[in-house]
Amino acid sequence: MGGDFGPCVTVPAALSLVDADPLVSILLVGDSSLIKQILPKTYSSRITLLHAHDSVSMSDKPSRVLKHKRQSSMWLAIEAVKDGEADACVSAGNTGALMAAGRFLLKTFPGVDRPAICKPVPSQGKNKKGQSELTHCFVLDLGANINCNAQQLLQFALMGSELASVVDDNARPRVGLLNIGEEDIKGVETIKVAAELLRDHSRINYIGYVEGDGIYHGVADVLVCDGFIGNIALKSSEGAARLMAKQLELIFKSSVFGRVIGQIARPLLLKWRNRFDPGRYNGASFLGLQGTLVKSHGSANKAAFETALVMAKEQGLKQLPQKISQSFATLNHS
């Protein structure tokens, strides 16, 4: 029921994934009368409805959700994961409420102080033949934890490393710390202490400090930072991408010559736009919870929401929470 478009996007995306993957079943949680208006008269038996009498609005405070919204679609969807009725939950709703309800119902693993929000961002990499290709880098935290100590940054590194290992089949993902410089003397004391912890940990392939532009240069598979820095870096990047796209559009419309060039370049521009379409990277994982919980962007369209569903499916299928739990079971012995 969440996001800018609610069931108009989430239901068609669910139907599309079920049609594409015969192993997937989806539990749609929300106002069943509204959902049935969007569902076709006949639909897959792998689509199930769970009616919810309430929903969480974007203005609801997390504390209100914990106290008064326990019959909401968001709460019941996360509860389905807790009770083993679902392997993963995806929502485009209120991020703060989703985090609060997820932490209350699913709990964190022993050794995890706080869950972290993590998502892939586009990055330049190389394939096995050494040729350049567009890949991604996982960045965390992206806003769940504003102030973090060095031990918590170590926890984020472990969780992000496990995510990259599971999703990308990468046995030794490169982990970096986002910092204002690459030199050892740069950064606040918390970052310096975190660097020592990461360097000494046997399960982390630590490569050192990475500056902001390094997010997109393919130098690391996982980048760790506190939520304040991560959220600003993400939003700044999204804003810069929108500015570039808008300026290109204005340039091609500015003159007859520009319009002609725009028509000639149209196939290349469409390819460029598709490569950097934010929908391709939709879906932020709440790592550290004892269950798979994925947040979709509120403005996601059908294709983008389906991307978040696929992400949740992969994490549930590959048992990412269990692998994170195993990492923390050995944390104190590394």
Beta bridge partners of 108: 289
Mean pLDDT by 10 residues, the chain (334 residues): 93 95 95 94 91 93 93 96 96 93 93 90 76 85 89 94 88 93 88 94 92 88 93 83 80 82 77 69 91 93 94 91 82 52
| Pick among 3.30.450.40, 3.40.718.10, 1.20.120.1730, 3.30.420.10: CATH of 1-112+288-334 | 3.40.718.10
pTM, entire model: 0.87
| Closest to 248 measured CA to CA, from 236, 258, 238, 257 | 258
CA separation for the pair 90, 94 (Å, rounded)? 12
Q: What does the pLDDT read at residue 215? A: 87
CA separation for the pair 277, 163 (Å, rounded)? 22
Which residues 6+ apart lie within 8 Å of 210 measured at CB?
176, 177, 178, 179, 182, 219, 220, 223
Number of H helices, E strands in the chain: 11, 10
The burial of 178, by beta-carbon neighbours within 10 Å (0-12 exposed, 13-18 middle, 19 or more buried), is given as buried
Cis peptide before 141 (omega within 30 of 0): yes
User: Other CB atoms closer than 10 Å to residue 43's CB: what's the count?
Assistant: 14
Domain with CATH 3.40.718.10 in the chain: 1-112+288-334, 114-239+272-281
Please give the DSSP secondary-structure letter assigned to residue 254: S
In residues, how long is the chain?
334
CA separation for the pair 263, 31 (Å, rounded)? 45
CA distances from 302 to 11, 131, 151, 315, 316 (A): 9, 32, 39, 20, 21
Kind and range of the H or E run holding 76: helix 73-82
- Residue type for 252, please? F
| Closest to 173 measured CA to CA, from 241, 208, 220 | 220
Beta bridge partners of 96: none
The CATH code for residues 114-239+272-281 is: 3.40.718.10
Beta bridge partners of 122: 136
CA separation for the pair 276, 242 (Å, rounded)? 11
Beta strand spans in the chain (E): 26-30, 47-51, 88-91, 116-126, 132-140, 174-178, 205-210, 222-224, 284-287, 292-295
Specify the pairing of strand 116-126 against strand 132-140: antiparallel
Q: 228, 147 in Cβ contact below 8 A?
A: yes
